[in-house]
Amino acid sequence: MKRMDGLSLVNISFLGNGPYNLTVQSGECVGMTGKSGVGKSQLLRAVTDLIVHGGECFLNGRSCNDIPPPEWRTMVAMVPAESFWWFDTVAPHFAVKRLGQDFVDLLELCGFSEDVLRWQISRLSTGERQRLALVRTLITKPKVLLLDEPTASLDKNMERKVEQLLTDIFSMQHTACIWVSHDMEQLARVAGKVVRVEQHGVTEEGT
């Protein structure tokens, strides 16, 4: 296969859906939409090798089959619509001792101070969990971001701030992104092109 900088999905299939073929270049954001239940979230899970699937994914020309799954999921990172938390407080979910100013800056850009590290998970709103899950992923600087409705629980002001943060990251860090949303106005702001997921493939919606 010819090398391409970015992410390539080749004949991805799962649970009777597919095949899906899509390329996302480094620094590009592709918006993804489609009917509820059509399989958008499952497609992202297939790309991160979290569910059984057919086909193959390539990152900068390297097959996911040649990369250990934990390493692949660090480079191709998914932020799900509903994030997962394992400890009672925020701090243990981050490798705090290894984090520096970049972490503090990300927190501030997402509307938090360092005090959030002491908060109980139980006190977090859905939107706060969503923003912290985004910080938790961004601090690892993945090469590809798979975002599943990343601003669905945010107010309009914070939504725009997060959109700006992410578009800056795409540009400065050359991060490839698939951004799932039902909000076509949002996708028009953040994505260079938009594709629609159907049961047996994707079609381009426009730019």
Q: What are 115-172's pLDDT values in tens digits? A: 999 999 999 999 999 999 999 999 999 999 999 999 999 999 999 999 999 999 999 9
CATH number (domain holding residue 132): 3.40.50.300
Average pLDDT over residues 97-103: 77
Taking alpha carbons only, the member of 85, 177, 165, 74 closest to residue 125 is: 85
pLDDT at 39: 94
With beta carbons less than 8 A apart as the criterion, state whether 54 and 13 touch.
Answer: yes
pLDDT at 98: 62
pLDDT averaged over every residue in the chain: 93
In a domain, 142, yes or no: yes
In a domain, 89, yes or no: yes
When divided into structural domains, the chain yields a total of: 1
Encoded amino acid at 74, one letter = T
In a domain, 153, yes or no: yes
pTM of the full predicted structure? 0.93
In a domain, 1, yes or no: no
In a domain, 136, yes or no: yes
Query: pLDDT tier at 207 (50, 70, 90 boundaries)?
Result: very low
How far is residue 137's CA from residue 132's CA, in Å, rounded to a whole number?
9
How far is residue 154's CA from residue 149's CA, in Å, rounded to a whole number?
10
pLDDT at 206: 56
In a domain, 107, yes or no: yes
In a domain, 28, yes or no: yes
In a domain, 40, yes or no: yes
Domain that holds residue 142: 6-206
How many C-beta neighbours within 10 Å does residue 91 have?
Answer: 14
Least confident window among 26-30, 91-95, 116-120 = 91-95
